[in-house]
Amino acid sequence: MLRQYKLRNYNFRLVIYVLALSIIGYLAIGSARISLQSKHLNGIFMGLGFMIFASLLDYSLYSKVRWGIYIFNLILLILVLTPLGVAVNGARRWLSLGIQFQPSEMSKILLILFYAAFIMKYKERLNTFRYIIFMIVLLIVPLFLIYKEPDLSTSIMLIVTFCIMLLIGGLEYRVILSAIAVVIPLGVIFFSIILQEGQTILKGYQITRILAWLDPEKYADSAAYQQTNSITAIGSGMLLGKGLNNNVIASVKNGNFISEPQTDFIYAVIGEEMGFIGAAAVIVLLLLIAFECALIAKRSKDLCGAIIADAMAGLVCIQGLMNIAVATGFLPNTGIPLPFVSYGLTSLVSLYFGIGIVLNVGLQGSKRKTSTYES
């Protein structure tokens, strides 16, 4: 389980990038909701503890208990839909077991661990129709449970992460092209259906968000209100921003024109108060974290480690860019958090734990000095 590693093989660059992004989040949350800043700081310290522990725990252990991880994840998601689940703003996404946490955020990391081990175990059969369907079925079960909460943004991220893991696992291009040939027409059909009146696939507020994104002027005073004000806030920050905790009257944040700015629209606070420099720093740090994870994946000792590191790279980078795209109006409002920045202790601690596993992949890869994947 716990092994001896050389300190020089520890990827401190990755740790520094994660901490830098967390500090920006800490400062922005303090400006958005000062009452939550200390709690968020506790989450950072808790996350650091989990990260250090995970970085010293041999990641090959997860391969041995992969089915236990999968079942544990399903149990948590099922419990959310029982009376133990806690509903907030119409969504039942939290579970109260002495402490309140969000299992769907944990699912992102748990499913990465499960599929990384599963794909490595059955690598030779990965491109067979039987195993592709089997893996999709295994994904549909937690996806359905998360969708019922409802949590569409997490469902989207799980699908994206799953696709990344299949690509890293060695999915052949003929299979990828065949999937694209099927998915694109289905996507067009799906999109046309959900825009019809009376459709039951998406919730009312979800379809309204899509319509507001397509026609923001029509929904400027309702569904597009937050996104429109977010864009205004980011643009008003100019180069250096208005300063953290400012009392500027002409401030979108100070005027309470964005509800819950500490979560999904934290990037608007950063853009307004830290300016272009602060907003750009967030993007650069996200890319640097993804880059370091990808380097670790390239040097990993086996395919399992490569999938874990690359999947974490994709999760942090794509989820971060999706959040920023929502805040800047390039995507419909999905309610997706900005990694290591948005307020949300389950997301924060889970991501730190995931980074800790990536660090362990790096420690073992450097120790063996190999860049080949073992099946």
374 occurs within a structural domain: no
- The range of the structural domain enclosing residue 194 comes to 7-368
Asked if 201 contacts 157 with a C-beta cutoff of 8 angstroms, the reply is no
Encode pLDDT of 295-354 as tens digits. 999 999 999 999 999 999 999 999 999 999 999 988 888 778 999 999 999 999 999 999
SS3 (DSSP) at 57: strand
Q: 131-165 pLDDT, tens per residue?
A: 989 999 999 999 999 988 878 888 889 999 999 99
Q: Is residue 375 part of a domain?
A: no
For 101-139, how does the pLDDT look when each residue is reduced to its tens digit (9 = 90+)? 899 999 999 999 999 999 999 988 888 888 989 999 999
Tally the domains of the chain.
Answer: 1
1 belongs to a structural domain? no
242 Cβ contact partners less than 8 Å away, ≥ 6 residues apart: 236, 248, 251, 272, 273, 275
250 lies in a domain? yes
326, HSE (Cβ side, Cα atoms, 13 Å): 23
Residue 312 lies in a domain: yes
Residue 195 is assigned to a structural domain of this protein: yes
Q: How confident is the model at residue 214 (pLDDT cuts 50, 70, 90)?
A: low
Residue 46 has pLDDT above 70, yes or no: yes
Any domain includes 233: yes
The number of helix segments (H) and strand segments (E) in the chain equals 13, 3
**Which of 349, 290, 281 minimizes the C-alpha distance to 24?**
281
Asked whether residue 107 is domain-assigned, the answer is yes
